[in-house]
Amino acid sequence: MDPSKGTIGDCKELMLSLRDFGDIWRGKWKIQIILYLSINKDKTIYFTQIRRDIPGISSKMLSKELKELEINRLVSRIVHPTIPVKVEYLITAHGESFAPVAETMILWGLQHRKLILGIIAALNQ
Amino acid sequence: MDPSKGTIGDCKELMLSLRDFGDIWRGKWKIQIILYLSINKDKTIYFTQIRRDIPGISSKMLSKELKELEINRLVSRIVHPTIPVKVEYLITAHGESFAPVAETMILWGLQHRKLILGIIAALNQ
DNA sequence: CCGCATCCGCCATGATACTG
DNA sequence: CAGTATCATGGCGGATGCGG
């Protein structure tokens, strides 16, 4: 975190990493999905179950997001050849490594909410 | 992190926090801007300087993002009545509280990059 | 220098319906 | 059940130009 080089605004490396991070996790759904699978990693979770438990997500989005998460080795898929077919989704070890990051986000979000609500309360009084 | 309630997929609270978090930080730029101001908090930073140091951002976007960050009390503005006017941007204490979150993101991003590059290398050999 | 206005393309997301 | 196909749309974000 030290801009040791001469000019202002070096630390491009950090900015680039952040950009990479953003590219992977952009969009409304992926982080919620990973958190969900992370929390329920001891259960057997099928496609429709996820869709039911993440309010507002459509089949299309869920399918797309899961595909991208799989490409990034964050979840894995197991097809059960029953009739009709069922597809199980699991979080990978690598996917689980994201849980602490999500936790940091959540804690910050709560703290932020408290601060903003405090400001609003002060304004209204 | 424990789904103690009966059904699968409780922990709605966590998901909601995550959604709030996403709403605040949506888009390509805000996190980069906060990190930039956080790193350079000991320097005097004007609008144009930020635009120069965050590659690719336009005036419009920078202006819009800064406004939203200001509303959320993450940055503050000081207008210097010179001719022409200069506007200084500072990170707030609350804004600084985001630095650890950004750091977590960066570290995870680096680890992820390594893992993916490893997989690609294995495939090509 | 700072930032707003305008125009515009494109992509993410949503709604709905449909297959194996 | 697990998606895919199609269409619609709103907002993100880029380009350019203007005004204080």
pLDDT higher than threshold 70 for residue B42: yes
Three-state DSSP string of A23-65 = HHHCCCCHHHHHHHHHHCCCCCCEHHHHHHHCCCCCHHHHHHH
Using a CB–CB cutoff of 8 Å, tell me whether A28 touches chain B: yes
Using a CB–CB cutoff of 8 Å, tell me whether A96 touches chain B: no
Query: What is the pLDDT, as a whole number, of residue B84?
Result: 84
- Both structure tokens of A67: 């595909």
Distance B16 CA to D18 C1' (A): 43
User: Is A23 domain-assigned?
Assistant: no
Using C1' positions and the CA of B79, the closest nucleotide is C2
CB neighbour list of residue A11: distance below 8 Å, 6 or more residues apart: A1, A3, B39
Please count the other Cβ atoms lying within 10 Å of the Cβ belonging to residue B41: 14
Query: What is the pLDDT, as a whole number, of residue B12?
Result: 80
* Structural domain that includes position A46: 28-123
pLDDT band at B9 (very low <50, low <70, confident <90, very high): very low
CB–CB of A73/B116 below 8 Å? Answer: yes
Could you tell me which residue, B7 or A78, shows the higher pLDDT? Answer: A78
pLDDT higher than threshold 80 for residue B6: no
pLDDT higher than threshold 90 for residue B49: yes
Mean per-residue pLDDT over chain B, rounded: 88
Euclidean distance between CA atoms B19 and A29, whole angstroms = 9
User: Is A89 domain-assigned?
Assistant: yes
Query: What is the pLDDT, as a whole number, of residue A29?
Result: 95
Nearest CA in chain A to B29: A19
pTM here is 0.89
User: Is B67 domain-assigned?
Assistant: yes
Query: What is the pLDDT, as a whole number, of residue B93?
Result: 96
Residue the block writes with tokens 């699978």 = A37
Query: What is the pLDDT, as a whole number, of residue B10?
Result: 55
Query: What is the pLDDT, as a whole number, of residue B1?
Result: 47
Sites in chain A below the pLDDT cut of 70: 1-10
- Report the domain count for chain B: 1
CATH number of the domain residue A37 falls in = 1.10.10.10
Residue in A17, A112, A119 closest to B109 by CB: A17
User: Is A21 domain-assigned?
Assistant: no
Task: Go through chain B and tell me how many residues it has.
Answer: 125
pLDDT tens for residues B75-119?
999 999 888 889 999 999 999 999 999 999 999 999 999 999 999
- Both structure tokens of A57: 């997500």
Nearest CA in chain B to A71: B116
